Amino acid sequence: MTDASDRDDNARHAEKAKKRKAAHDRKLEGMSADKGLLIVHTGTGKGKTSAALGMVFRHIGHDMPVGVVHFTKSEKWNTGEAKLLAKFPDLVTLHIMGEGFTWETQDRERDVAAARAGWERAKELMRDDRHRMVLLDELNIVLRYDYLPISEVIAFLLDEKPADKHVVITGRNANPALIEIADLVTEMTLVKHPFRNGVKAQKGVEF
């Protein structure tokens, strides 16, 4: 009796799987060819940059060059990702353009200048045919504080970003105009964070 029941369960499972595959294949038939995506990672939760770096490392694994611009992180931070990315000089162009968070610099003019320099470098990377993906880490932060005009950034992404280039933008409080034009938007939601319980940032987790 058990054997017969197992056979029935397997048959039902196989039939459902067959229908799901057929439906999936029909969806694929109607999909367009490859496209350079505009991807936004935002929200209050941890993991925005980490998820973006996961895609960067996938590109490296496929021998596809990437460009990375850090808008708030500074050279002083000595992050694990910067150390690892430096091991792939033929595949990674890394620019650490920030001077730390705004509460560290306490100088709006310096922050604006750093953001402008980072954006100019970012445009160079996006225009460069060599790079398949460009990560603009924490660009949302500089846009939130109006260090760069959102209209300028949107115009460039719409008019000058190559059609086959992936661009990933991270940071809290993504501008609604940026969300509107993006192909993929993920919002990380904070449930718990050790910082609230007096635990400082941990090497290998936060940096």
pLDDT digits (tens, 9 = 90+) for 18-72: 878 776 667 667 666 789 999 999 999 999 999 999 999 999 999 999 999 999 8
* Confidence (pLDDT) at 9: 73
Average predicted confidence (pLDDT) for the chain: 89
How many residues appear in the chain?
Answer: 207
What is residue 207's predicted lDDT score, i.e. its pLDDT?
79
- The pLDDT assigned to 158 comes to 98
* 207 vs 36, higher pLDDT: 36
Report pLDDT for 101.
52
Give the residue-averaged pLDDT of 135-150.
Answer: 96
The pTM for the full model equals: 0.84
* Residue 129: C-alpha distances to residues 29, 66, 100, 207 (Å): 29, 10, 30, 30
The mean pLDDT of 13-20, rounded to a whole number, is: 78
Q: Regarding predicted confidence, which is higher, 94 or 104?
A: 94
Q: What average pLDDT score do residues 158-180 get?
A: 97
Helix (H) or strand (E) holding 179: helix 176-181
97 token code pair: 């353009």
CA distance 83 to 103: 25
According to the model, what pLDDT value does residue 46 have? 93
Q: Is the pLDDT of residue 74 over 70?
A: yes
Banded pLDDT at 14 (limits 50, 70, 90): confident
Q: pLDDT value at position 49?
A: 95
Give tens-digit pLDDT for 104-139: 556 889 899 999 999 999 999 999 999 999 999 999
Query: CA-based angle 198:52:174, to the nearest 5?
Result: 75
